[in-house]
Amino acid sequence: MEIPLYATLFALGLLGGLLSGLVGIGGGIIMFPLLLYVPPALGLAALSVKAAASITAVQSLLGAVSGAVAHHRHRRVYFPLARDFGGTMALTSLIGSVASSAIPEKIILVLFALLALIAGMLMLLQRPEVPEPSVADGSYQYSRVRAWGLGAVIGLCAGLIGQGGGFLFVPVMMAFLGAPLRIAIGTALAVGVASSAAVVLGRIGTAQIPWLLTAVTVSGGIIGAQIGSELSQRLPRRTLRIILAGAIFLTAMKMVWSLLL
């Protein structure tokens, strides 16, 4: 009886990992609603909001590791930005993750939908595409203070909703830190490793992770992240932006709709 559920979770993990490597969102923005709505739609056991958030947190962590390694091979990870942005994120993500156990599920859903809408709007407000600098030539500069502050705020929100926050990284890096798209995607995955690890630690400490279901899901996510990372190097930047913005907006709309029912 459980085999169909395991097969479904593996397939969802594969999809989440594919998007993680493709557009640097860690998979959480897609995985969370998929885990909530797909199993019951197929007549399988429904997962609770907190179980889905916890599975997604682990999947986001391992998907981010897998995707970051692949993007690093193409020199798309800017480690100084990952350090400054991800450092404060890791701390506040842990705080938010621990606090999440005391927050009602509906509040978590509202916050998730609100953050997704903001991220989608940021993607639509991006400046026209310009030639991308290499991470090795030193032509890309950013404000460290701004990176610290943005990381702290996003980290707290990410911990509360049980995601690594990857769906916010790319829009924020591009809009407020001036990062080129492909560098933002690769660096977002590196940042996602730190923030997702903090979220996972908080969930482990509060015993919120269903380990068997999580293992099945993340096994698909690791494979999908490698495939997505390779595709990301071949698709035009405009296509990547459309995919990211579309994924974020569709998910946000689904979350808003579920809250109104």
- pLDDT tens sequence across 88-128: 887 887 888 788 778 887 787 788 778 777 777 777 765 55
**Per-residue confidence band for 70, with pLDDT thresholds at 50, 70 and 90:** low
pTM over the 0.85 mark: no
Domain that holds residue 191: 3-260
**Per-residue confidence band for 37, with pLDDT thresholds at 50, 70 and 90:** confident
User: Is 195 a residue whose pLDDT tops 70?
Assistant: no
The structural domain count of the chain equals: 1
The DSSP symbol for 74 reads: T
* Residues 6+ away with beta carbon under 8 Å from 13: 31, 59, 216, 217, 218, 219, 220, 221, 224
Whether the Cβ atoms of residue 202 and residue 93 lie closer than 8 Å to each other = yes
